[in-house]
């Protein structure tokens, strides 16, 4: 069966510090991978998606970047965090277009 792992579960970082959130998927190959951010009362905002190794597309301009060094690994990064980067970050995968999304358990990021 397929599983998705996302860590850490919670993170408190000072403004200006770097960020690295990691997501891995097991039990499937060549998944579509996604990073979402969830802000209170605003639903989920798609940040990045990837259809293959090294292929990253950004949905919104921002302080964050993403990388996919391996088929089932998706990393969300920042060189310098801003206060506005605080939020709940969710990694997800799907088998293909218009297939259901499988979500990780999320990372609550607080930038102070």
Which residues here bind other proteins, judged by CB under 8 A? 6, 9, 32, 41-44, 46, 49, 51, 57, 90, 92, 94, 96-106, 108
Least Å distance, CB 58 to other proteins, is 12
Which residue, 3 or 70, has its beta carbon nearer to other proteins?
3
Least Å distance, CB 64 to other proteins, is 18
Which residue, 18 or 26, has its beta carbon nearer to other proteins?
26
Least Å distance, CB 43 to other proteins, is 4
- Measured distance CA(39)–CA(60) in Å, rounded: 15
Which residue, 19 or 90, has its beta carbon nearer to other proteins?
90
């Amino acid at each position: 069966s397929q599983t998705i792992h996302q860590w850490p579960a919670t993170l408190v970082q000072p403004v200006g510090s770097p960020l690295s959130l990691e997501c891995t998927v097991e039990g499937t190959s060549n998944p579509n991978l996604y990073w979402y951010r969830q802000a209170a009362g605003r639903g989920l905002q798609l940040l990045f998606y990837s259809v293959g190794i090294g292929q990253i597309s950004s949905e919104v301009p921002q302080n964050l970047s993403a990388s996919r060094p391996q088929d089932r690994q998706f990393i969300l990064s920042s060189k310098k965090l801003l206060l506005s980067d605080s939020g709940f970050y969710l990694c997800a995968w799907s088998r293909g277009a218009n297939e259901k999304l499988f979500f990780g358990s999320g990372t609550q990021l607080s930038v102070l």
